[in-house]
Structures are given as C-alpha cells and as structure tokens.
Amino acid sequence: MKRFIYVFISVFIVSISSLPAIDLSRLSIYEDKSKSPSKRIAIIYGILLEEVYHPTSEHRGWGGGIINHDYTMAQIIGAMGCVVRESADAKVILQKKISTEENTELKEAITVAMALGGDKSVNIDELLCLLKRNNNNFRREKVAYAISEIGSVIIIPDLIDALHDNGSELSCLEDSGKRFPVRGAAAYGLKKMNIPIKKSNNMSFEVDKDSAVKAIEPALFNGDEKLSSQSIKSIKRIGGTYAQKVLEKYITAHATNSTNSTKKALVDEAKNSLS
C-alpha cells in the first residue's frame, strides 16, 4: 500500500511539473479592442511576470511541436509588440517598467517588444547582443524581426550573418524536419530593405552583396560623421567589388578636406578598409 501511494504521488508530481505554466490563448487579449491599449499591455505584462518567475515546462502542443519557456516568452513578446505598435501609451508604460525593473530577462523581453512595436529609440547594440546568443532561438527570431522594424541600414551585415544562423527548432512533428527561425526573420528584414534574397533548400539563403552595399551607400555620404564611420565598417563587412568602389568614391570625395580632422580620420578609416 505504501509503495502504491509513493508511486501515485511521484506520478502526480511529475504530471504537475510537466503542465504548461501559461495558457497561450490568454494572449489574444492583445487584439481585444474593448479594452484600452494601456489595460491590454498591463494584462500581458502580468502574463510575462508569471512566465518569467514560473517558466513553462517543456511539453508538446496539440500540433505536436515543442512548447517551452523560450517559445512562450516569444509569444508574449510578440503580443506586447503588437500593442506597442498600436499605442504610444503602451510604449510609455513599458519604458517606465524597463527603467525600474531589475530582472534581466524581463528587461530584455521589454526591449525586444518595444523594438517590435517600432520604437527606434531602442539600443540597437543590445538587440545585436541578444541576436548573437547561442540559445533561445524563438526569442532570437523575435529579435531579428525587431531589428528589421528599426530599419537601420547599419545592421545589414548582421542580418546577412543571421541568414546562416544554425539555431533550429522542430517545425512540428519530428518527422517534419527542422526550421531555422532566425534565418527566416533575417531574410524578411533584408527584403524589407529591398535587398534581393535567393532561397535554396533547407532554409539556406544567399544575398545580393551589391544591393546590400547600395542600401548603405546613402548613409555613408549623408554628412553625419558617426553614421559615416558605422557605414564604412558595415560596407567593409559585406565586401565585394562594389563595396570597394563605394569606399574609393568616398575617399576621393573627401581626400582634399585635410583641414577637418574628423573627415580625415574617416578617409583614413575608409583607406584601411580597402587594405
């Protein structure tokens, strides 16, 4: 009898621990127009708190795919991003949260959600650090989309690198093969900037380098010295014949401006990029 009770309790504990912590259908609140954006973002933020402090245990969803903490966080971030895009009030609420919140995972989630919502004040370097992590592929997919929404041409080389990202997830049932979430999001971002992408089998992409450089070229010549320096670095990373021509064009255009020390430094940077 004792053995039966012990086994029963063990099975019960295992069953409870494997239950999902969050009912994802609750996130549909993001599109409930009967509630104000401020109310919706507050509710979704409450769900985010639940998930961070009581993470979802890995299990299979009704469709056979894996649902875990990373997947659930990505869905919450996406829902918050939708509300932020709709309302400046939601953006203000999250800005206040991120300024007072100490939990790193919460702050990162808010940062990505705000960028997804089109907030261009988000620190792009923080997003790039999140993108380059080696885990949390579903959240990294949201990061790649968020970077695309910010729309800065300076991050084009990072999106090109992400086209070869090896982070994979099961697409649904195990025999359906794997998907590469970050690759698809990076391809979306590049296409949004009118950079042609060729797709081959198994989510493998190729980018037109000349088009990528042409997208950055106006930023190089716009007169902002910081942006010009960033553009030089980005063009160098992409490389190719057209990249070399653009840098040579920049050097020729500013080579006579020897009285401006900053311009001279930029010309030297461009020259070093050619070597």
- Say whether both 192 and 243 belong to one domain: no
pLDDT for residue 61? 77
**Whether 30 and 111 share a structural domain:** yes
Q: What's the CA angle centered on 122, arms 188 and 39, to 5 degrees? A: 95
Claim to verify: residue 58 and residue 105 sit in the same structural domain:
yes
Name the residue among 113, 105, 109 with its Cα closest to residue 84.
113
How many domains does the chain fold into?
3
> Is the predicted pLDDT of residue 67 greater than 80, yes or no?
yes
pLDDT score at 62: 77
| Bridge partners (DSSP) listed for residue 179 | 169
Q: Model pTM?
A: 0.82
Q: Report pLDDT for 22.
A: 83
Residues 108 and 28 in one domain: yes
Residue 237 neighbours by CB under 8 Å, 6+ apart:
157
Domain boundary among 58, 91, 116: 116
Residue 110 CA to residue 134 CA, distance in Å, equals 20
Say if CB 266 and CB 235 are below 8 A apart: no
Choosing from 116, 142, 171, the residue where a domain stops is 116
Tell me if residue 200 falls in helix, strand or coil: strand
Is 11 a member of any domain?
Answer: no
Most distant CA pair in the chain, distance: 93
Axis crossing angle, helix 137-150 with helix 124-131, rounded to the nearest 10: 150
Closest CA to 107 of 90, 89, 127: 127
Give the three-class secondary structure for 259.
Answer: coil
Q: What is the pLDDT of residue 138?
A: 92
Domain that holds residue 75: 22-116
How far apart are alpha carbons 190 and 139 in whole angstroms?
19
Residues 201 and 219 in one domain: no
For the segment 123-151, what is each residue's pLDDT rounded down to a tens digit?
999 999 999 888 889 999 999 999 988 88
Inside any domain, residue 4: no
Q: Answer whether residue 16 shows pLDDT above 50.
A: no
What span, in angstroms and rounded, lies between the C-alpha atoms of 154 and 15? 48
- Give residue-wise pLDDT tens across range 177-201: 467 889 889 999 999 999 998 877 6
The pLDDT tens digits of the residues spanning 202-251 come to 667 889 999 999 999 999 998 788 999 999 999 999 999 999 999 999 98
The predicted structure's pLDDT at residue 199: 78
Q: How far is CA 17 from its chain centroid?
A: 30
State the average pLDDT for the chain. 85
Tokens matching residue 188: 């979306």
- DSSP assignment string, 45-107: HHHHHHHHHSPPPPEE-TTS-EE-HHHHHHHHHHHHHHHHHH-HHHHHHHHHHHHH---HHHH
Give 274 or 187, the one with higher predicted confidence: 187
For 71-201, list the strands marked E by DSSP: 169-170, 178-179, 197-200
CATH value at residue 181: 1.25.10
Residues 218 and 203 in one domain: no
Across the strands, what pairs with 178? 170
Q: Is residue 151 part of a domain?
A: yes
Average pLDDT of the residues in 16-45: 85
Considering the domain architecture, whether residues 188 and 220 belong to the same structural domain is answered as no
Is 201 found in the same domain as 138?
yes
202 and 230 co-located in one domain: no
Answer yes or no: do 102 and 168 share one domain. no
Query: Using CA atoms, how far apart are residues 246 and 252, in angstroms rounded to an integer?
Result: 10
Q: Of 116-125, 163-172, 225-234, which range is least confident?
A: 163-172
In a domain, 110, yes or no: yes
Question: In one letter, which amino acid is 15?
Answer: S
